[in-house]
Structure 1
């Protein structure tokens, strides 16, 4: 096959196409970033380099250049959530088979995805597309309850607000461009995520995990933990997820699905047609032996996946993770290692002393990333709580000349636990 890859990553795991695609058997071309070049196999057919993938226009131009050089292509891989639409545009322009912009938009536009799920007879929050504060106020008044205001195509809860009935909307949303937003009811209940793989509109692998706190809480400075669950509750989440993915038309590929558990059943939250972020790919590889990225690629290439079907493999262990957010506007003085002190913690990735936290770390360059494997979800959750309580770091607030623009900079050394990261 002639394969075109649009890639924005430079790490050893997500961007390791060399071990997942036979570059001698296939003709593989790349549109990629400079830091990824050392990881590209020598057998690659053609390479186009762009400074970054933030602007789709240069990426599309580079894909067209690759097409002129070695095309036409049989398939295109664009695995990041932020490149799904760009990949769809390239497919349409170059006549490459695969999801078009209509199919991809359903998984990027939060209003569209809820419309499709609701049309399938599945429960979603009440919602409305908005372009200004007045529409948000009208929706909240009619509901008489807290609402969530979020970008229709956002990710990781960036730009999201939870607004209570008595809060001043103008003050909360001041400075926010609402031209492409939606508002929805705030549904009470634990938030779960389900991660796995679909093929021929059936879930061939999936695990249901319950969050400790939420992605929104993480965006507000609170640690985010998660543990894989099994049993009747988890089975209900898996069945609901599969029904929603079928309603959304996901034929094949990886997915990261979020839902809310209520007393009257699960409620759809949102979904990404891609593998989960944070520590999810690593935990699934380490604990379950499932390479979500590699098997997604194999599905796209029509090759056999290596994943054991979900129903054929009982879980001997339960995986989990903890992410400790950035304490913005600080420099790390010192931090402890938690491995060897917390049961069931098997890996950690921690910043070095002197690291500056500028608020741009996302889920990767943060105060701490921890991975767990234990005999039960309860054991994993207890290990996560123990880590939060014991992970005490010394932080120095930045001097004005060191502080990123807009960040407070007072001279003092702080001692902060993960539970009080700000």
Structure 2
């Protein structure tokens, strides 16, 4: 194909094995990567690999790209599959005149104020929101909208820096010394959280599936188990699919893998429920989304993301709602961190519908910085109905045990089983 591709990489696992889905002998491929992301890259196949201390350093990213262009010629494509690398990729495209999503288009899928504005303009329900770069603007939002409300970064991810503000006292604690330059406030939506993952090419939705979440990413980040179960209600699936298509059109997502989050909330009038847009990422979902899609549905969302952005024709069958129902459960790290894992109970063969698990081996240090990647255990399920998966999650929660001790104490010191906080499972 003779494409010249620049890849920005910060992944440290198999997701960074780009040679599995990009033919490095047909295309010329160069990398800008972090030091931690260097090992999975195939140096023998790569045109060049440049290690940067910080991929968010725009000046250094542009300088290194310029050097690569000088040595090897202009690039035809820039790939950035991590959400945190979309902005520098957009700057590279603009600076070097490379086709693809530039800074303004990146803002539509990264800046939550911009994206909600575009989705609202398309006639879809979004939470009341406002950019709030000063404490006075935050207080003004609270006075107008009341408590609780959400204070979070405009361009955050993984629930970093997200706060549900439930009282004036809590608000004042948060505002004390806070850097609000990138802050926004939005209405708190009391409803069931759904995630919709999908692949769109040439503006056409190839496949998608909605998942009912037990808890939220914020709950998981603060120490509560998180579950997600694929929806098998065909009427709701049709409804949420139309919603997702309208969101993609509003944000000009035409050749992407996306991860959309919406609330299903009661209408204020009491007449049924409505879908409320929360946010979207122009990338494959995190947590166990990529793993479970490949294990149960045979779709590699990371490979699809790369290939669809490169313009390769994809053949992906629409999701079969009469087929298997997948689900997963992620257990949070212990309440005292860093903690050392002493033992964790395998549930393989003990829980019906449990198809695979990933457990931290004894001696693993859980630092509290693992996010949804390095957890205290993940469990994946496959069944013919969502109710069976939900029951399997309940059984897993009841049987799960992680023994640990604080890093600075001996194994026979304080410690014990991880907190098994209840996860909401629909039923």
The CA deviation at 1:282 is 1.1
Distance in 2 (alpha carbons) for counterparts of 1:373 and 1:158: 30
Question: Structure 2, unaligned stretches of length 5 or more?
Answer: 267-272
Which whole-Å deviations, capped at 9, do the CAs of 1:261-291 have from their partners, x for residues lacking one? Answer: 0123100001111110011111111111111
Distance in 1 (alpha carbons) for counterparts of 2:245 and 2:254: 11
Identify if the C-alpha distance between structure 1 residues 63 and 292 changes in structure 2 by more than 3 Å, giving closer, same or farther. Answer: same
Q: Secondary structure at the match of 1:72?
A: coil
- With the length of structure 2 as denominator, give the TM-score of the two structures: 0.91
2:340 match: 331
Paired residue for 1:276, among 266, 282, 285?
A: 285
Distance in 1 (alpha carbons) for counterparts of 2:206 and 2:10: 27
Distance in 2 (alpha carbons) for counterparts of 1:387 and 1:54: 39
1:121 match: 123
1:276-315 matches, within 5 Å, as 276-310=285-319, 313-315=320-322
Paired residue for 1:365, among 374, 386, 395?
A: 374
Distance in 1 (alpha carbons) for counterparts of 2:288 and 2:276: 24
Any conservation in 2 of the 1:131–1:178 contact (CA below 8 Å)? yes
Identify if the C-alpha distance between structure 1 residues 235 and 19 changes in structure 2 by more than 3 Å, giving closer, same or farther. Answer: same
1:224-303 matches, within 5 Å, as 224-230=226-232, 231-263=234-266, 264-303=273-312
Any conservation in 2 of the 1:67–1:94 contact (CA below 8 Å)? no
The CA deviation at 1:357 is 2.1
The CA deviation at 1:54 is 5.0
Q: Secondary structure at the match of 2:418?
A: strand
Paired residue for 2:201, among 183, 199, 202?
A: 199
Q: Secondary structure at the match of 2:24?
A: coil
The CA deviation at 1:343 is 1.3
- How many residues align structurally? 410
Paired residue for 2:356, among 324, 347, 352?
A: 347
Distance in 2 (alpha carbons) for counterparts of 1:251 and 1:173: 39
Identify if the C-alpha distance between structure 1 residues 22 and 337 changes in structure 2 by more than 3 Å, giving closer, same or farther. Answer: same
Question: Is 1:375 paired with 2:375?
Answer: no
Identify if the C-alpha distance between structure 1 residues 368 and 38 changes in structure 2 by more than 3 Å, giving closer, same or farther. Answer: closer
Any conservation in 2 of the 1:191–1:258 contact (CA below 8 Å)? yes
Any conservation in 1 of the 2:128–2:186 contact (CA below 8 Å)? yes
Any conservation in 1 of the 2:43–2:49 contact (CA below 8 Å)? no
Any conservation in 2 of the 1:195–1:208 contact (CA below 8 Å)? yes
The CA deviation at 1:166 is 5.4
Which whole-Å deviations, capped at 9, do the CAs of 1:17-68 have from their partners, x for residues lacking one? Answer: 1120111111111222345345416232222222453544433322222211
Question: Structure 1, unaligned stretches of length 5 or more?
Answer: 403-409
Which whole-Å deviations, capped at 9, do the CAs of 1:349-372 have from their partners, x for residues lacking one? Answer: 111212222221111112112211
Which whole-Å deviations, capped at 9, do the CAs of 1:186-241 have from their partners, x for residues lacking one? Answer: 01110000001111222111000010111111121101100111221222222111
2:110 match: 108
Paired residue for 2:46, among 38, 44, 47?
A: 44
How large is the Cα RMSD of the aligned pairs? 2.0
1:64-103 matches, within 5 Å, as 64-103=66-105
2:145 match: 143
The CA deviation at 1:8 is 1.0
